[in-house]
Structures are given as structure tokens and as C-alpha cells.
Chain A
Amino acid sequence: MVSSQNENRLLSSEGDSQRTQYPYVTGTSVIGIKYKDGILMAADMGGSYGSTIRYKSVERLKQVGKHSLIGASGEISDFQEILRYLDELILHDNMWDDGNSLGPKEVHNYLTRVMYNRRNKFDPLWNSLILGGVKNGKKYLGSVSMIGVHFEDDHVATGFGNHLARPILREEWREDLTFEEGVKLLEKCMRNLLYRDRSAVNKLQIAKITEEGLTISQPYSLKTFWNFAAFQNPTVGAEGSW
């Protein structure tokens, strides 16, 4: 018994290193779509600590350089670390001072490499990221998961958004959505998530990035409807049931 304990201690030098085993403060889904002039992204502002909604003003949509926008779900501290990596990346890019700047495709590739490398070291950054942007008139929208799975598409979502928002986007997304239509579509998906995702909060931001630049809206709430007749009196005709 004692010798096996010693063995464990010898091997535990691996166990001493800091590894993210499970996330603590998490953000829920992010949804992104391409529209006529660029990219639209929506995320709510909740940071859950397990099953408590601990923080209600977490900004999960951030600008990256001149051309890109990143949205993250998952562990918030790992997202802040990613923002620091991206800061350094953009800084070094600016220091070249060569008139060229990293576009969304390049930033997406960088993030993919970072996420995959961390996964290979069994120490992942526990996030699902959405990266969108416009450079030289070309729109780009991509997604990276915590194990390095990455792809590019016309509409992407993380977490629960994959199950609840993707079906709606597959039905209703079109190439030539205007800004208003795009926002309406995103709000439809976010409302769905608000009803059916337990870690969603009713305070969201929508970010828009076009060739001209980036704007992140002020936080606002969605209107919800609870007045179905069956909700008012669910057991009419069935006294005693629920």
C-alpha cells in the first residue's frame, strides 16, 4: 500500500501542473451570421458560476484589430487570456508598420492553432469562439472549439445555440439580409435561447462589423410572451393533475 502511494507521488509531478479540468464561470451561446454588408453577432451578458447566474454584465463580444470581431462562450477567464494573446498578436502586427493588417481569416487561423496546441497538451482553453470580420470587401465568419475543431460558414453558433438557433438559421438565413432583417433574425434566435436555455439572461448585445468598422450595441432586453391560455389555467378539465 505504502509503495503504491510513493509511486503515485512520483507520477504526480504531471498532476501538479495547472490543467483546466472543468470550467467555473461560463458564458452561454453566441450566434453569428453573415448579412449583406458584413457580420452580425449576438451574445447575452451572463456569466454563470455553476447553476447560479453570478455576473450579468459580462461583455462576450470584443473587437480584434481593425477588421475582426470575436465572440466567446465557455470559461470567462480563458476568454480573457485569449484576448491578451490577441492583443499581443495585433500589437506585433502593428509594429511592422507595413500598411497591412491581420484580417479575420488570419486571426481565425491563429486561434485555431492556439486552441489545438493547448488541447494537445491536455490543458485546453475552455471556450468556443466565433470569429467574424470583413477585409477588402470579403466577409468571413468562422468558429473554433476548445479542441481545435474549426470551420467557416454563413451562420455559426456555440453551445446551446447549435441545437436551438441553427435550425432557425438554416430555414431563414439568406445571402442578402439587410441589417434590420439580420437583427430580427438574431433576436428571434436569442429569444428562443432565453426561453429554453437555463443559463441565458435577458440582457444582450448585438455587434455589427462591416468594411467601415465595428459597432457593439448597448445592452438591451427582449420582449417575451407568457400569456398562452394553457399556461393561465393548465389543469382545466383535469383537476388535480399538473
Chain B
Amino acid sequence: MSSEGMDGPKLGFSFDLYSRNDMLTKKGLKPPGYLKTGTTIVGLIFKDGVILGADTRATAGPIVADKNCEKIHYMAPNIYCCGAGTAADTEAVTDNISSQLKLHRYHTGRESRVVTALTLLKSHLFRYQGHVSAALVLGGVDVTGPHLHTIYPHGSTDTLPFATMGSGSLAAMAIFESEYREGLTRDEGVNLVTKAICSGIFNDLGSGSNVDICVIEKGKKEYLRNHLTPNPRTYISSKGYAFSKKTEVLLTKITPLKELVDVVQVGGDAMEE
């Protein structure tokens, strides 16, 4: 196993399985579909820091696979990252870089900087030439101030005062372009971000359910999970579910588990091996 890490990662994307996958596709095997987040994610810089926002719908084609997933990923105590695109890719790449940042913090003894996360993410994505389908909005506050960046699947980045990504990005950008000002207060910023995410939720089919917010300021952060839930379940039966009374009970037999299972205590700690 080659050692991977900060000193020498294996270079290039491994195309070893390409010809085998190609042969299987020709034979008629449909490749497994992947869970896409079909998303609205936004970020904006306000007076004292950065606010990130995201919707909570994960789609698999036309079906909503997860009604309340988490799209704002932890990178460092002062850096968070929203992810759009393939859910597995955004999850994996942010976890990976988050670990690398932690090791780096131990190594240097300092708080992580947003540009570090930015460079690690963009180098990783560039190496995979766009095959890692992760579009990210990275935001955080470090010693040099608040920063907000967007990262595209092929590895290009932008530094912006406000940013949107995902299928609902146009709907959210319409709100930002018309209402963003510099020097917003925290509450104004949170309201604007909520408005932009709601625009994505209600105008884009790939986004929906609830609004998650994360406010990062110098020295503190607030992760507001489900800050707004504008799509509650409308009709809930108060009676719960009951089997119809006509269901005939034919047989009732209760078998206690202990009679059939022998629990053998091996000497020492059961979890030790």
C-alpha cells in the first residue's frame, strides 16, 4: 500500500477499471445511478464574518431520496463548506480535506486558514479532472479576515462577496443581485440568506424542504440546523395508524429469545479483539 499523505500522494486519476466498465456497458449493464444533491447553496460576507446557507433536499433522479440531509459540512472550527453535486463526492472530499486540515493544525499549532482549505480542495478536484462532481461554497473566518470562495468540479475557484451554486443557483442569485449590500448586520445577512434559499426551494425542483444556516464570526460560529422549515407535513392523522378491526387474529405465539440463544461469556473484555 503506497503511503498517501502530505508528503507524496499518488498522482493522477486511476483509469484501471475504465476498459472493464466500458465492456460491461457495451454488454448492456446499466451503471448504478448516484445520489445527486440538486441543490441551492449560498454564501455571503457580512460586516463581521461569513454566512452560509443550504436547502436540505437530496434527489436520486426524479425522486426525493432524503428530505432533510445536511449539506453544510464541517471543515475546521472556523471553516464550513456547502456542497452541491454528487452527495458522495461532496461528503468524501470535504471529510478528506477536513482530516488533512486537522493534521496540519497539529503540525503548525495554529488555526486553519480558509485559503489552505481552498488550495487543498482545488488541487484534489483538479487532479480528478472533473470526475469528482463536487461544486462547493467554502467560507470561514481566520486571522486574515472573513473569506468566501466557490470551487467548481474541475478545480477552478472564485473569491466573491456573495455566491450561489447548485441547480437553484439562478433563483438564489436573483435575490442576491437585487438585494445584497456591503456592511450587512448579522440579522440582515441571515434574513437575506434565508430569502435566497427559499427562492431556490420554491422556484427550483431540485431543491426543497428546509433551510440550514451557518454563521461564522471571529472566534465563534453558530450552526443553525433547520433554521426555517417552510414545508411542514400538512395532514397528520392524530389517531396514528391502526389495523382495521376486521383483521382476524389466528394465532398468538411468543417465543422468548433466551430459550433459543446461548450467551457464552468468553473470559475478559468481549470487545477486546
Interface residues, chain A, with chain B CB atoms under 8 Å away = 160, 163-168, 170-171, 188-189, 191-192, 195-196, 228-231, 234-238, 241-242
Contact = CB atoms under 8 A, between A and B. Distances in A.
A196 B159 contact: no
Contacts of B159: 230, 234-235, 238, 241-242
B161 A230 contact: yes
A237 to B, nearest CB: 3
B158 A242 contact: yes
A229 B147 CA distance: 12
Given A165-B174, A167-B203, A241 B161 contact: no
A92 to B, nearest CB: 41
B118 interface: yes
A198 to B, nearest CB: 13
B175 A168 contact: yes
Contacts of A191: 177-178
Contacts of A170: 202-203
Given A167-B202, A230-B148, 6 more contacts: A163-B170, A171-B175, A196-B174, A229-B182, A236-B144, A242-B158
A189 to B, nearest CB: 8
A237 B175 contact: no
A234 B45 CA distance: 13
Contacts of A163: 170-171, 174
Given A191-B177, A195-B177, A238-B115, A231 B161 contact: yes
A196 B162 CA distance: 14
A196 B173 contact: yes
B45 A230 contact: yes
A123 B124 CA distance: 47
Contacts of B119: 241
A167 B118 contact: no
Interface of B: 45, 114-115, 118-119, 144-145, 147-148, 157-161, 170-171, 173-175, 177-178, 182, 195, 199, 202-203
B199 A171 contact: yes
Contacts of A235: 159
Contact of A167 (B157, B161, B174, B182): B174
A10 to B, nearest CB: 33
A158 to B, nearest CB: 15
Interface centre among A167, A191, A196, A230, by most B CB within 10 Å?
Answer: A167
Contacts of B199: 167, 171
Given A196-B173, A234-B159, A242-B157, A166 B203 contact: yes
B161 A192 contact: no
A157 B67 CA distance: 30
A14 B118 CA distance: 56
Contact of A192 (B145, B147, B177, B203): B177
13 contacts: A163-B174, A164-B171, A164-B173, A165-B174, A168-B175, A196-B170, A196-B177, A228-B161, A229-B161, A234-B160, A236-B145, A237-B147, A241-B119
A120 B192 CA distance: 45
A192 B115 contact: no
Nearest to A237: B144
Contact of B118 (A166, A168, A238): A238
Nearest to A170: B203
A160 B175 CA distance: 15
A189 B174 CA distance: 8
Nearest to B176: A192
A241 B115 contact: yes
Contacts of B157: 241-242
Contacts of B160: 230, 234
A228 to B, nearest CB: 5
A165 B202 CA distance: 14
Contacts of B202: 167, 170
Nearest to A172: B178
